């Protein structure tokens, strides 16, 4: 959250207070935590759960979820790319059975950052985004190219897997109108 706000201020020249930015939910990804889980329907055990490219998707009623969301399930944010949708989901009970209360944290890359730099230019990325009605403001032309939408998997397909397995339920599909790249 700190770095998001810092980047917004640096790129846009607007402070957090001036932008009236409100935090919906903050959760770590790419982290290891000790959690208690049931293994193969047997008793529970303390396990170290390492989520790399993944995030928590705990179901309603789980004590790890803040009171504000406990009745509905953990909010899950699955970002797409700069030019594709992102999703808000809610964790379901199947997540505990199938994935230790986890789901994907994003669409996932289809090409490396260096491959994106070899295959795309800042102008091609900007034109592509503008053709989709997405405005971009970036500090680094190289960073913008590394995050081209073509470098990522189809986020809608990734979300559909989580939804169809019952790991998380789709709540909202968000389509970008602007991108800030620090």
Is 29 noted as a catalytic residue in this protein?
no
The answer to whether 98 and 167 have CB atoms below 8 angstroms apart is: yes
The DSSP-derived string for 109-125 is: BSS-HHHHHHH--HHHH
- Measure the CA angle with vertex 26, ends 136 and 143; round to 5°: 30
Tell me how far apart the alpha carbons of residues 151 and 159 are, in angstroms, rounded to a whole number. 17
- Measure the CA angle with vertex 19, ends 146 and 21; round to 5°: 80
Longest dimension (CA), the chain: 56
Tell me how far apart the alpha carbons of residues 60 and 73 are, in angstroms, rounded to a whole number. 4
HSE at residue 139, side-chain half, CA atoms within 13 A, is 10
Tell me how far apart the alpha carbons of residues 76 and 19 are, in angstroms, rounded to a whole number. 24
Catalytic residue among 2, 50, 64, 105: 105
- Coil, strand or helix: which one is 74? coil
Residues carrying an active site annotation: 105
């Amino acid at each position: 959250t700190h770095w998001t706000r810092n980047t917004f201020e640096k790129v846009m020249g607007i402070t957090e207070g001036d932008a009236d930015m409100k935090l919906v939910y903050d959760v770590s990804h790419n982290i290891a935590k000790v959690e208690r889980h049931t293994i193969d329907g047997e008793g529970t055990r303390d396990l170290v759960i390492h989520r790399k490219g993944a995030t928590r998707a705990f179901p309603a009623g789980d004590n790890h979820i803040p009171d504000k969301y406990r009745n509905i399930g953990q909010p899950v944010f699955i970002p797409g790319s700069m030019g594709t949708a992102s999703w808000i989901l809610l964790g379901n009970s199947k997540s505990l059975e199938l994935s230790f209360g986890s789901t994907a944290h994003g669409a996932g890359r289809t090409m490396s950052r260096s491959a994106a730099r070899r295959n795309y230019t800042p102008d091609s990325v900007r034109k592509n985004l503008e053709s989709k009605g997405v405005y971009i403001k970036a500090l680094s032309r190289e960073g913008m190219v590394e995050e081209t939408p073509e470098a990522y998997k189809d986020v809608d397909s990734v979300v559909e897997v989580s939804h169809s397995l019952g790991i998380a339920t789709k709540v909202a599909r968000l389509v970008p109108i602007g991108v800030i790249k620090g």
